[in-house]
Structure 1
Amino acid sequence: MTPELTPLRLPDTDAGWEPWLAERAESALQRAAALRDELAAAGPETALSVWNRLNTELAGVFAISSLLAQVHPDPALREQAEQIEVSANRFRSELMLDARAQASLAGVDPAAPDAGGRRVLAHALRDFRRAGVESDDATRERLRALDEQLVELGQRFSRGIREGGRSTAVPESALAGMPADWIAAHPAVDGVVTVSTDYPDTVPFLSFAHDADARRAVTESFLNVGWPENDEVLGELLRVRHEYARLLGYADWPSYDAEVKMIGSGPAIGDFIASIAEAAQAAGERDLETLLQRARRDDPTLAAIDVSNWRYWTEVVRREQFDVDAQQVRAYFDFTKVRAGLLEVTGRLFGLTWTPVPSAATWHQEVTAYEVSLGEEYLGRIYLDLHPREGKYNHAAQFVLVPGLAGVQAAEGVLVCNFPRGLMEHDDVVTLFHEFGHLVHHMLAGRHAWIDFSGVATEWDFVEAPSQMLEEWAWDADVLASFASDADGTPIPADLVARMRAADEFGKGFLARTQTFYAAVSYLFHLERPDDLTARLAELYEAYSLVRPLPGTHFHAGFGHLEGYSSAYYTYKWSLVIAKDLFSAFDSADLFAAEVAHRYRDLVLAPGGSRDAADLVTDFLGRPYDNAAFQAWLETPAEPVR
């Protein structure tokens, strides 16, 4: 079908990117500046409309600059994008401290706009207050300076991770136990093999390599990404965030951060983390004891399960007790088939069509593009950037390229991951479904008249729930059989999937405790701002993680979520509670039942940020959400399938 709105035209030559990015950003910021002046002079009848247009321009600048700063192959272009981010943030900071702009919006009769306009107005006035527009001149100037520092420090922290990858030289003999395709992709040179800290290198090595010393060495490299530079950067980032929150009258950064989230208050974050840690304690200790007892059969001197060996011994237990051999499993997950299957599954589930656009210009030859439609309605375009490369963002996330706006611009989104180019672990498949859930959310919610509602614009501690729920389709035997097949074309057997699911349930207790450890680092680092981050990290390992750390490692220096999620990493478990409840509305015997799938699409995903997340969930479930499904899942022990 011919799209009503034209997709963004990207440069089709390497040399074209720098001038294209400069012109696009500069012209958008110029239009935003003119709209800022227009807003200051606007009457109550037009102020909200001007505000919407202004934020559309600004959102576009942030979208393209934040994406290219993380994915473009050219370091100079990434640096250019970072500088544009700084300029855009400076503009936004000045805008939110502009008393004239705030006064224009404050003059709007709250009862005059429609429901969407009333919500936009309330959020805008709240955000002006949270920016400090009502503060005295000296305080506003300090807030402006701190805001610039936060951007610069956040960029430095992310850059330290993105460009701070390491590698470990291991003897060729250390490859015993590794999959044949992994070995083939890592030829030895003079009897030595190099293992990078990219996930497709490190995770399989830690899962399958028999050599404990080599696994330990690889883990040490993996957990020292960003060290030592990011230690100082993070410490300063924590201090600046705290000062910013205090100047605005909040007790600390978590209190400031939580005000606009479902959880509501900073102390509630600590309470939630403690509740999940307690709920997972018994199951976690049970599973860790199983790992330790099995490991001591081979190594009676082993003192504990630690971050270098938990993956390996978990695979051993799953292989022996659940009859699941991860190397056998990965033979069914060829990347190309998985990608095609993902599009087929999500298309069928949500009524979407993904049409390849092989002629589309991209920033790298491995990036693929698709036009997206819902029935006869054109939604926009997506890009899939799914393999690792030097200088690229090294986790998994969905980025906005263009925020959708009804009648103005079609939504465009980008999935950025780091998967193998050949066979995938099933965990990779689950991650792909999870991250694609964000992309579906972005596209379906890109049809609002207000830019504030566009895409994944719900409260930040809800955004993971739809993606976590979509993971369930990566565990269904019928779904997997539709695209997962071995080299001979034989679909993955249903009984193997059942054993995989049972095996995956093993370890959920100690892995939940690992998540509470991450959440505690996120929350307590911001609350306490310890002088010695490494020492405090060791204490939090002891308090929350059942898996022991390795001395001499500095996980926090490479924990990228401390930049984006700041004090709110608890989000993943908070969202999982909701995701389990959402999934309870589906029939596990028919995951493609159109009535419930389309109702979920229309009531939870398509509304974007137009309503509070709790209300969206209530509309879908017919009741407020609760933790019953999550608690039942957590407390049910893993049982081998006989």
Structure 2
Amino acid sequence: MSLSPLALPATDWPQWLTDHVESGLRSARETLQRLRGGAVRDAREVLEVWNDADIALRGAESAAGLFVQVHPDPQVRELAEKLLQDIERATTDRTLDRELFEVLSATDPAGLDTDSARMRAHVLRDFRRSGVDRDEATRNRLRDISERLTVLEQEFGRTIRDDVRSIQLAPDRLDGLPQDFLAAHPPAADGLVTVTTDYPDYLPFRTFARDAAARRELTVEFDSRGWPANDAVLHEILDLRDEKARLLGYDSWPDYDAEVKMIGSSAAIAEFIDRIATAAAPAGRRDHDTLLARRRLDDPTATGLDRADNGYYSELIRRENYDVDAREVRRYFDFPAVRAGLLEVTGRLFGLQYRLVDAPTWHDEVTVYDVYADGHRRGRIYLDLHPRDGKYKHAAQFDLVGGITDRLLPEGVLVCNFSRGLMEHQHVVTLFHEFGHLIHHVLGGDQHWARFSGVATEWDFVEAPSQLLEEWAWDPAILGSFALDADGNAIPEALVRRMRAAKDFGKGINVLTQVVYTAISFLLHRDRPADHPAAVSEAMDRYGLIAEVPDTHFQASFGHLAGYTSAYYTYMWSLVIAKDLFAAFDPADLLNSAVAHRYRDSILGPGGSRDAADSVTAFLGRPFTFDAFAAWLDR
């Protein structure tokens, strides 16, 4: 069956978005109305009607959720925010509707196939977790909390997105920066150079700028985005989440949130944080001592390292101890070649073809590809990879359309903020990582139930496929296929091997930094401290080895607090699984189709149609363990 992708408009985006969302909301209302009235129905019929409403609501939410983050017109972004509030209200009303709950709960699961029975169980669980079984006053309060949280989370993200800061420097304070960076940052009429907190500026500057004071100035601005506006917003978010959890009978928000994840409980998160911190401590101390010794060559009085130092001295160690100069490395990573190489590599790996499409988009820098496998179109992807005003500031994959077997093609959007010219290799790794989410969305998008389509697994598994794909951005043969300098020379294999050796330096500190972020995410939600800056400082001191820069407010720009809530531990939890998954591949032949296709069919293809632990076991032939991660840390 041939399916057509969603037709985006060439003009009049406000009208298109309004019509698209309102059509979805209307369809959901009319569909759910078919379940009312108490008529006797079998379980499969009820689930099919519910699924139709899922499809309509997801279609509306995906479009509005994407364009609030990426559309260049601020009026469209503002419209999308309001439409998302309408969608959230409709979604909340559905899961608090006792009549609908009674219809679903009255169905007899006998005779349902495994997938349908799992769907029924998940829907009933969603009802229970929404509070449908609570008294009317409690349900009304839960409805108010959900609506208010939607507004606050939008405000939190918008503030970060719009708060692009900058510093102005005399040209001589850019000593150490690559030539292409200097060429892209000429002095203004006043003789000063502007450097912003956007990633194409911030990452090279913190890595290469020799002027410690200038690095610190930019770090202060970067780690203060969203402050002070987001302080009160974050406090209210945390308070409302806690109130919601307690109204539903949980001791805290992390207890409520973890219940539906692989980890299972708040206590297990706390234990996991300590386990990772303990495992990474020896490697972290070795890294820290090496970095501090190097810093003391420049400043004999130095007693530690902070966030303005870490990137710069890590780069110096890689350059001096491993003969890896990131300024030399980046000349092999010209953005158009990297993008083409990514598509070639993942196409070979997963048996896919990407065909460039001339289709309307929201910005002229967005490229569109249809994804084919065995001659059949499997989905459509959009690549929106460069920064601009008003755009989401980090890197993520967003849904546009959730795939449904024989009904809807999966469509996803990769949103990043990379240079249009030469890229840091770190950003190449990020591109592979985020593309892993995109492939998961497309290949997992052949599902009957919208509830399980695409990246719909437990939330603490979603990063594992992306962290796995990062490994392909470190392979000499793979990089040599697309990483070319201006004269067409491939990146030398010896250089890549030195890069891999240098990569292992700093992993202890990097893991402990992730533990810090995990602890901040978890402890702010569990403990709800009155003084957020003090709590963040305490977490950095307890778990990390890199100090925060004074007078900064990291939590105000920590966007994951809106989406991941208390579950930032996901990144480390998923990395443990990713290291185990990678052990099944042959490092000498990462394009081996047999194991790659088995991985594709065992992990990516099922989407959320089965528990993540079952998918991992199907691929590995056993449950995942901590062993591969521990061995990697000790290496």
Q: Tell me the TM-score normalized by structure 1.
A: 0.98
- Matched with 1:249 is 249
* C-alpha distance after superposition, 1:67-106 (max 9, x if no partner): 0000000111001001111000000111000011111111
Q: Distance in 1 between matches of 2:302 and 2:207?
A: 17
- Matched with 1:44 is 41
Partner-residue secondary structure (3-state), 2:34 = helix
The answer to whether structure 1 residue 34 and structure 2 residue 33 are counterparts is no
In the TM superposition, residue 535 of structure 1 has moved relative to its aligned partner by: 1.2
The answer to whether structure 1 residue 302 and structure 2 residue 298 are counterparts is no
Deviates more, 1:562-571 or 1:291-300: 291-300
Q: Distance in 1 between matches of 2:568 and 2:394?
A: 15
* Residues 270, 474 of structure 1: alpha-carbon distance in 2 compared, 3 angstrom cutoff: same
* C-alpha distance after superposition, 1:486-506 (max 9, x if no partner): 000000011100000110100
Partner amino acid, structure 1, of 2:304: A
* C-alpha distance after superposition, 1:151-205 (max 9, x if no partner): 0110010001001111111221111000000111111122311111101100100
Q: Distance in 2 between matches of 1:453 and 1:370?
A: 24
The answer to whether structure 1 residue 393 and structure 2 residue 392 are counterparts is yes
Q: Distance in 2 between matches of 1:207 and 1:43?
A: 66
Which segments of 5 or more consecutive residues in structure 1 lack a partner in the other structure?
637-642
Q: Distance in 2 between matches of 1:381 and 1:511?
A: 34
The question of whether the paired residues in 2 share the 8 Å contact of 1:388 and 1:419 is answered with yes
Partner amino acid, structure 2, of 1:224: S
Q: Distance in 2 between matches of 1:623 and 1:271?
A: 23
Partner-residue secondary structure (3-state), 1:261 = coil
- Matched with 2:353 is 353
- Matched with 1:640 is none
Partner amino acid, structure 2, of 1:221: E
Q: Distance in 2 between matches of 1:502 and 1:111?
A: 57
Q: Distance in 1 between matches of 2:489 and 2:250?
A: 59
- Matched with 2:429 is 430
In the TM superposition, residue 374 of structure 1 has moved relative to its aligned partner by: 1.1
Q: Distance in 2 between matches of 1:280 and 1:446?
A: 36
Once the two structures are superposed, the pairs formed by residues 322-337 of structure 1 within 5 Å of their partners are 322-337=322-337
Partner-residue secondary structure (3-state), 1:343 = helix
Deviates more, 1:254-263 or 1:375-384: 375-384
* C-alpha RMSD of matched pairs (Å): 0.8
In the TM superposition, residue 39 of structure 1 has moved relative to its aligned partner by: 2.0
In the TM superposition, residue 570 of structure 1 has moved relative to its aligned partner by: 0.2
Q: Distance in 2 between matches of 1:553 and 1:29?
A: 42
Once the two structures are superposed, the pairs formed by residues 360-439 of structure 1 within 5 Å of their partners are 360-439=359-438
In the TM superposition, residue 471 of structure 1 has moved relative to its aligned partner by: 0.4
The question of whether the paired residues in 2 share the 8 Å contact of 1:160 and 1:229 is answered with yes
Q: Distance in 2 between matches of 1:308 and 1:559?
A: 17
* C-alpha distance after superposition, 1:614-635 (max 9, x if no partner): 0000010011110111000001
Once the two structures are superposed, the pairs formed by residues 144-543 of structure 1 within 5 Å of their partners are 144-189=143-188, 190-357=190-357, 359-543=358-542
Q: Distance in 2 between matches of 1:628 and 1:96?
A: 41
- Matched with 1:6 is 4
Which segments of 5 or more consecutive residues in structure 2 lack a partner in the other structure?
none
In the TM superposition, residue 351 of structure 1 has moved relative to its aligned partner by: 0.3
- Matched with 1:22 is 18
Partner amino acid, structure 2, of 1:80: L
Q: Which runs of 4+ in 1 moved over 4 A?
A: none
Partner-residue secondary structure (3-state), 1:39 = coil
Partner amino acid, structure 2, of 1:328: E
Partner-residue secondary structure (3-state), 2:398 = strand
In the TM superposition, residue 439 of structure 1 has moved relative to its aligned partner by: 0.3
Aligned residues with identical type, % of pairs: 57
- Matched with 2:96 is 97
Q: Distance in 2 between matches of 1:504 and 1:603?
A: 29
Partner-residue secondary structure (3-state), 1:116 = helix
Q: How many correspondences in the alignment?
A: 631
In the TM superposition, residue 511 of structure 1 has moved relative to its aligned partner by: 0.9
Partner-residue secondary structure (3-state), 1:133 = coil
In the TM superposition, residue 540 of structure 1 has moved relative to its aligned partner by: 0.9
* C-alpha distance after superposition, 1:37-66 (max 9, x if no partner): 112246432210100000000000110000
* C-alpha distance after superposition, 1:230-288 (max 9, x if no partner): 01100110000000000000000000000000000011111101110111111101111
Q: Distance in 1 between matches of 2:173 and 2:120?
A: 61
In the TM superposition, residue 300 of structure 1 has moved relative to its aligned partner by: 1.0
The question of whether the paired residues in 2 share the 8 Å contact of 1:386 and 1:416 is answered with yes
Partner-residue secondary structure (3-state), 2:426 = helix
Q: Distance in 2 between matches of 1:377 and 1:265?
A: 42
* Residues 183, 109 of structure 1: alpha-carbon distance in 2 compared, 3 angstrom cutoff: same
Q: Distance in 2 between matches of 1:40 and 1:480?
A: 58
The answer to whether structure 1 residue 140 and structure 2 residue 147 are counterparts is no
In the TM superposition, residue 298 of structure 1 has moved relative to its aligned partner by: 1.6
Partner amino acid, structure 2, of 1:246: R
In the TM superposition, residue 303 of structure 1 has moved relative to its aligned partner by: 2.6
Q: Distance in 1 between matches of 2:112 and 2:14?
A: 41
In the TM superposition, residue 473 of structure 1 has moved relative to its aligned partner by: 0.4
Partner amino acid, structure 1, of 2:485: D
Q: Distance in 1 between matches of 2:49 and 2:235?
A: 39
